[in-house]
Chains A and B, each alone.
Chain A
Amino acid sequence: MKTVYDETETNRAIEGIVDRIAGEFPSAEPINIVGIRTRGETLADRIAAKLAGRGYGQIGRGILDITLYRDDLSEIGPGPLVRPTQMNIVVDGVPMVLVDDVLFTGRTVRAALNALADFGRPRIIRLAVLADRGGRELPIHADYVGADLGQLPAHEKVCVKFTENDGVDGMTVEPRHSP
């Protein structure tokens, strides 16, 4: 296990994402920040709190569980618990920032986009990720990237830690456990 981003660097990366969002969307207009379970949820909390601190007054919050939209359901076998999606927000016509911790194959994001289509038609969807580790299998890219880790080998896995879940902020690269 090696630490690639420590606490300060992780927070700077989140701050960078918030800068980019603030550069594109005015604080006086509504914006939806939607996290993908489970780590995207925490990152979305952080981003929304920082935007609120910068005067954004109409932030809609949502959480997506994309399990039911995965295209590899029959391959992953008995799954972890499916948790509720929470999308009690006005989706139509409002810009949305979709938030996840790590961007890898792009399949989670594809599933999230499919799920979102069932809730309405946002004016625009941007993708924010804390880390881009390369390895895309679909034509998907992130708009706001906290940390560009280049092309990591497939046998390595990026672990994002947040104080809320793990007691500390940071990012490590670890060997992927074979299932």
Chain B
Amino acid sequence: MTPHMTPSAVAAGSNIDGTARMKWTRKHLLSIEELSVDEINFILDTALSFKEVSTRSVKKVPALRGKVVVNAFFEDSTRTRMSFALAAQRLSADVLEFTEKGSSVSKGETLIDTARNIEAMGIDVMVVRHAAAGAAELLARTCKCSIINAGDGAHEHPTQGLLDAYTIRERFGKVEGLKVAIVGDIVNSRVARSNLWAMKKLGAEVILVGPSTLVGKAFESLGATVVHDFDSIIGEVDVINMLRVQNERIKSSQFPTVREFTRMYGLTWDRFQRCKKDVFIMHPGPMNRGIEIQSDIADGPQSGILQQVANGLAVRMAVLFLVTQVSGEETRRREDAK
């Protein structure tokens, strides 16, 4: 593995010189924390190739023909679930949808039993979202198929961190050296954690912004700067990633009133005016227009929100492709040993 990228490759927004020499060896994608810089760049460079597939008139390649991907979502999702389903379909995989509602989970089946039963049908990849942190890792230890974490509690949402890194790299040509603010409910956010890891590993400076109840000083031990006054940093950041105000938490004592939150931490027109001219605005969705972000900023030219969605597809295609190549290798080794 090569630890550093060449300056010319960085300028081109890619790290092909550095990553071309490495081989992907992970069967699961569980977190960004566990990935090396080279592995992150390898996924982003692979995603670049998959983005091209979506520009063709025939938007499909046969790479995962005959493989089965199951979307096992134990928590609600629109974007991530659809993105994974479409990504799998563009790779010619068959896709099964599992939802907790109306399933045997409501009859009391445990997570591991549910997963093992789904797996027994002969699936290759399980994309898992669950309210409990560590759920994906637990399944990776108990199942033979590849596990992709699509969000586990407040722990990580690695493909969101990767697609955000991809989108920033696409916009600026690099991530290294940029100042990135992540704003809102950090403590309850898996998007924030995955983003923090991705940004730090790729060499960005991360500023976490929110009330002290939602972003503690403890986060500084992860290498970020913690700020409670949004206005104090508004003019110096290159990227502002506005997190969703999670309605289900608004009533908790950690949370100020909605009006107070918007006044202190919302991306209002007035704040936007004080940003750098080429500031890049991101949001993982779903947006609460008028609460954490003003509508016309979200729809404006500085917003990357829809690019994030489009890039999410390419990143998920890359991840599905990479993890399945490794399971193939392991299967082959097992057969060779016979």
Tell me the A residues contacting B by CB distance below 8 Å: 65, 67-69, 73-75, 77-87, 114-115, 118-120
Docked complex: B244-284 residues within 8 A CB-CB of A:
none
The interface-forming segment of B20-28, B128-136, B228-236 is B20-28
- Contact partner of A78 among B19, B51, B326, CB < 8 A? B326
B25 touches A83 (CB 8 A): no
The interface-forming segment of B3-11, B57-65, B203-211, B212-220 is B57-65
- Contact partner of A69 among B45, B52, B61, B331, CB < 8 A? B61
A74 touches B25 (CB 8 A): no
A111 (CB) vs chain B CBs: closest residue: B62
A38 (CB) vs chain B CBs: closest residue: B20
Contacting residues, chain B, for A115 (C-beta < 8 A): 61
B49 touches A78 (CB 8 A): no
Contacting residues, chain B, for A86 (C-beta < 8 A): 52
Contacting residues, chain B, for A74 (C-beta < 8 A): 325, 328, 331-332
Number of B residues with CB within 8 Å of any CB on chain A: 31
How many A-B contacts at CB < 8 Å in the complex?
71
* C-alpha spacing A79/B323, complex, angstroms: 11
A74 (CB) vs chain B CBs: closest residue: B328
Secondary structure of the A contact surface, majority rule: loop
* C-alpha spacing A114/B318, complex, angstroms: 20
Can you name 9 extra interface pairs (CB under 8 A) apart from A73-B325, A85-B49?
A: A68-B63, A74-B328, A78-B325, A81-B45, A82-B46, A84-B52, A114-B62, A118-B61, A119-B56
Query: B115: CB under 8 A from chain A?
Result: no
- Contact partner of A77 among B19, B42, B63, B328, CB < 8 A? B328
Contacting residues, chain B, for A120 (C-beta < 8 A): 57
A69 (CB) vs chain B CBs: closest residue: B62
Contacting residues, chain B, for A84 (C-beta < 8 A): 48-49, 51-52
Query: B16: CB under 8 A from chain A?
Result: yes
Q: How far is the CB of B29 from chain A (nearest CB, A)?
A: 14
- Contact partner of A83 among B16, B58, B332, CB < 8 A? B16
Q: How far is the CB of B48 from chain A (nearest CB, A)?
A: 6
Contacting residues, chain B, for A118 (C-beta < 8 A): 56-58, 60-61
* C-alpha spacing A81/B321, complex, angstroms: 11
A71 (CB) vs chain B CBs: closest residue: B62
A81 touches B62 (CB 8 A): no
- A68 and B332 in contact, given A81-B20, A81-B45 (Cβ under 8 angstroms): no
Contacting residues, chain B, for A83 (C-beta < 8 A): 16, 45, 49
Query: B50: CB under 8 A from chain A?
Result: yes
Q: How far is the CB of B13 from chain A (nearest CB, A)?
A: 12
Query: B109: CB under 8 A from chain A?
Result: no
